[in-house]
Structure 1
Amino acid sequence: MESNEAGLPIVFVHGTRVSATMWRPVIHAIGRRHPTAAPDLPGHGKLRGEPFSLPGAVEAVAEAVDELGGRALLVGLSLGGYVAIATAGAHPDRVLGAVAMGCTALPRGLFGAVYRGVARLAAGHPQEADRLSAFAFRRVLSRAQAHAMVAGGLSCEATPGVVKAVREMDPLASLSAYPGPVWLVNGERDHFRRNERLFLRACRDGRLVIRPGCGHLTSLTDTTALTRQVLDAAAVVTARTYGSSTPEGAR
């Protein structure tokens, strides 16, 4: 768990096979403007070896929210986005808003079959898959971000459980159940954009943001732009939640 103190609380949720450390560059850029937390999900980071489940992931995020005072803005990428959506649907009273990145695809049909096949292959050869993932991060991300992606260890063996959980969840129902503001953020070249309009229609208070030229992971490359996006969402949520006043510790 990483945290600091000030402003509106923000909980960051990591993606598949990486850990909470992936968010270190953004958390460092935010500094003391907001209290932040980044929990490890089951099967990842410090919880590597535990079976992944969506209820377990939602519980980990809810616990992080509670540690920051009981209500927070959620920010998640890929698996983290799906978990953020599920947490918002399950605990709308504890989620002040959600920035869900790279997670607007329903892994069904051919897309789902490919997704499952890659996961099985990675789990069957986890050490090789971990090395390939680390190599890919170094190729497409900045040095600092690539280091953050691997700093907490990689867990490719967890991917089949993750894929199964995501396939079985109903993100559209979770979005429909959540009344708060949602930002659906996709890279222009992200293959997880395929159902973004369906996700947007499911939101009760949603907006779709497309990041030009970015793919699924390369949205992380420009830390300054990503941090600004998170801070802009936090400002909207702060204004809606507290009006002209500021949360305790922000002054």
Structure 2
Amino acid sequence: MAAKSDRPNNFENEDDLYRQLFLNAAEGLILSDHNGIIIESNPRAGVMFGYKQDELLGMTVDSLIPQSKRESHENHRTNYMKHPVNRSMGTGMILTGLKKDGTEIPIEISLNSFGKGENTRVMALITDISQRREIEERIKQLNEDLEKRVEQRTREMMQSQNLYFTIARNFPDGTISVFDKELNYLFFEGKELYQAGIDSRRIIGTSIKDRLPADVKENVLEHLARVFKGESGIMEFETKGNHYELNAVPLVDNNDKINQI
């Protein structure tokens, strides 16, 4: 008693099955001989290039390439036929295809060859990547627009920083400082510094704790601690025969947190 096959009986034989797979493939399939003459194609290939399916038969694969690139493609094809290798999708060649109406489309081609000599056949699996290219171009344009906006914003910020720097450097009778929560200098400028030849860049990153005289250090630090808690205020003190006025305010960030004063 013969064993029953699990294969669906919709097809009379394997040739019929493979034929249906060829005809109904979602990608374009073109079979050519060793001279690049198309001997078989599926409906999708015809639609992709704007031909009726039987119109492609007898044409050369080179005729599906724009005239400006045809000679180069012929040379590539000739070299390929000398040493044919399979190229899977993803590592396939990206070319420009030529439709019947003269429209050019970007295509990706994967190649599989079989046979030898004059009996060599090449199966090309062709994908129209127009939509992918459009998406890539949109992403590229978005990135370029973003870069331009970032550059513009950077210029604006630099202009603002230069303005603030100029204002602070010309601030009379004192200095303007910005501290982080560890009371390290983030910004330090003032007219007196400039006139005294002090480079404020040497101060940035150091701590005010190391610069306060011992007789006022505790009171000043307590005052700054209250500012970090949200209290603004003016503190006056004297040290080494000089009178100072300290006006400190909290700097609230976008998250309503005080990390600088």
TM-score (ref. length: structure 2): 0.20
Ranked by relative contact order (alpha carbons within 8 Å, sequence separation 6 or more), the top structure is 1
Give the number of the structure whose residues are more often strand, by fraction.
2
Structure whose CA Rg is larger: 2
TM-score (ref. length: structure 1): 0.21
Give the number of the structure whose residues are more often helix, by fraction.
1
